[in-house]
Amino acid sequence: MNRLFLNLLLLVASTTAFADPYRWLEEDSAATQAWVGEKRGLSEAYFSQLDSKEIEEELRMITNIDRWGLPKEHEGILYFCKRNGDENKAVLVRKSGETTEVLVDPNRLAREVTLIGFSISPNGRYISYGFSIAGSDQLEWNFLDLQTGCKLLDQLTEIQFSDILWDESCETVYYVKNCAQVMAHKMGTPNSTDTLLYQPNEDIVVYRPQLISNGRYLLVEERRQVAMQVGIRLIDLTNLQSVELIAPGEFDIFPIGSLEDEIILITDENCCMGKLIALDTQKNQRTLIEETGDLLQEVEIVGDKLVCSYLSNACAALKIFDLSGQYLYSLRLPNKGTVAIDSSGETLFYSYTDFYTPTQIYRHDVNTRKTEPLHTPFLNTPEIVTEQVWYTSKDGTRIPMFLTHRKDLPLDENTPVMLFGYGGFGYAITPFFHSYQLRWIQGGGVFAVPNIRGGKEYGIAWYDDGKLHNKQNVFDDFIAAAEWLREKKMGPIGIFGTSNGGLLTGAVLTQRPELFDAAVVNKGVLDMLRFHLFSIGRFWICDYGNPEIPEDHDYLLSYSPYHNVRKGVDYPPTLINTADHDDRVVPMHSFKFFAALEEANGGISPILLRLEESCGHGGSDSREQEVTFGRDLLSFFYSELDCKKETIFSETAVSKE
């Protein structure tokens, strides 16, 4: 019997041995819609009985601050996205001195759209701006004449995960269509005449285009769909010939710009924590900044300086180097938190946030080394502290965990804990701010975030130890965090995770249901045998494995939340949340897991299904969505954990600047 036929038999046997009674919920049929309507009705009845009005009012107070995105500067004028406290969605503005003008306002449109980014033309005459349609990954790019204030007729669609690039003449823009076609659009012409510059083979996707060498070359990243293999391709715009500069390999690579004829890239090839290299069009390579003990996350070329964002024990550090890679100085940050960086000419813009500080925006001059705060909203709250503790996971690995709480809070068996995690795709979980967690902390709870494996907080090895056939390490790390909290006499414990974090909470919920007092599974990947068949699920094979390969299939089956629900088990109270426009982790995952859990539950704890409308995978696209999700999340935890929700906020506690 040949190997291929044997593998097919094994796959069929292992697939047919396990029932999939709720596969019909994968279809957007009348029956599915009726079922969803019925289950939503039960959940709405549950929430209507909870005392959540006070929580909602306090969340509205917390969100009643102005929020800025990172600015771009052109000839002394700042352009950025901004959401005022009383607005539902962010608007695009330009600020000259003390005068701020709204350029694009989604709040005034009849359609359900959200701003996701913008790009200023080199001559400053035009600006392109991207809309997400109802929170989905489907993007639409429009154009505005900044001199006349008129919207142009040009509109680009069929785009996901792609920005718009202007050429120096401002007559042509470049973009990636459907993650597969590199296109050129001549302004003022119909999309049907757009030029196809490059299209890879079917198993390759392209994204993140950049112009280098004064606009001669268009650089794109290529990634194999079923493996974490990223390469670099150059398209010569003078003759439309393309060349593979770096073949996709078993390493990560991230282009950040160019200096003359050299491309500057972050890579972890032959290293663990990342280094900065320069590569010319003839494939000659040199190292600019060597690997250190901290993770190199992001780099910006700012004038004649290199600004590097590092991660040290899951907290940000900013270091400045000259163009030869010589260290110059470090920036002092407000606290141990998270930064994002961008630049315009000689100016660095960076944001700062942590578990209790709303996003602040700063401008830094790399020549004078002076920093200017541009936007520093704050909330006048009781003193809050974040500490980082370490605990031991099942296999002996030491894992760090952030604990954030009021300084005056006694940590004992009456202290409720919200335990949040992710653990996948090399995504490092660093301190972040959200209104729901601040309300939780203010109300006397602990917000706990373990930096479990599967992320890249400690480099590529930390990631490798939490993917493919090492995925159980992720769940063991999270379980060990809960056990450590129990040992320290803290609790009750509610767990919460989104996306891959939803997989995490679903997996540990089915593996150790007695350990947790409540769970929120938000937009999780929950059917691990069929995830690759929907939307962009095939791109996740690099992290999870391929269900069509017997060895991977069996490993996935061992932890797939949907397939490991056991009849008669007393599961803790569980809220499963999804969104109607989530085209990344499609709602069928949540529908099927909820149906299995509801039927199998041997106890009396509520199993609830919540569906957000006009919302995608990212969620909280608007203030209203942020408030209502936070209200239901907190009221669910307060009710099911049977803990007191203290009132902290007053109107005078909130300041916008």
Residue numbers annotated as active site: 499, 617
In DSSP terms, 285 is beta-bridged to 279
Strand ranges for 260-303 from DSSP E: 262-267, 275-280, 285-289, 295-302
Sign of the CA dihedral with 484 first, then 487, 488, and 494 last: positive
Q: Specify burial of residue 57 (Cβ count, 10 A radius: 0-12, 13-18, 19+).
A: middle
Element (H, E) at 532: none
Closest among 60, 82, 84 to 656, alpha carbons compared: 84
Burial zone of 50 (CB within 10 Å; 0-12 exposed, 13-18 middle, 19+ buried): middle
616: its two tokens: 């995608």
Judge contact between 25 and 32, C-beta under 8 A: yes
Residues forming a β-bridge with 243: 234
Phi, psi of 60 (to 5 degrees): -65, -35
Compute the C-alpha angle 359/430/86, nearest 5°: 25
Backbone angles phi, psi at 53, to 5 degrees: -60, -45
Instruction: Answer for the pair 582, 616: CB distance below 8 angstroms, yes or no.
Output: yes
Q: Peptide bond before 400: cis, by omega within 30 degrees of 0?
A: no
> What is the full DSSP assignment across 164-191?
-EE-TTSSEEEEEETTTEEEEEETTS-G
Residue 426 tokens, joined: 């090399």
- Tell me the helix, strand and coil percentages in the chain, rounded to 5: 25, 35, 40
Is residue 307 within 8 Å of 300, Cβ to Cβ?
A: yes
* DSSP H or E segment with residue 355: none
How many residues make up the chain in this entry? 657
Q: CB–CB of 579/523 below 8 Å?
A: yes
The C-alpha atoms of residue 340 and residue 80 are separated, in whole angstroms, by: 14
Cβ partners under 8 Å of residue 471, min gap 6: 454, 544, 555, 559
Cα–Cα dist 43/38, whole Å: 9
Interatomic CA distance for residues 360 and 301, integer angstroms = 22
Among residues 172, 168, 170, 169, which one has the least CA distance to residue 182?
Answer: 172
Distances (CA, A) of 420 to 53, 100, 204, 430, 433: 25, 38, 34, 12, 13
Structural contact between residues 309 and 318, judged by C-beta atoms closer than 8 angstroms = yes
Residues 6+ apart with CB under 8 A from 603: 569, 570, 571
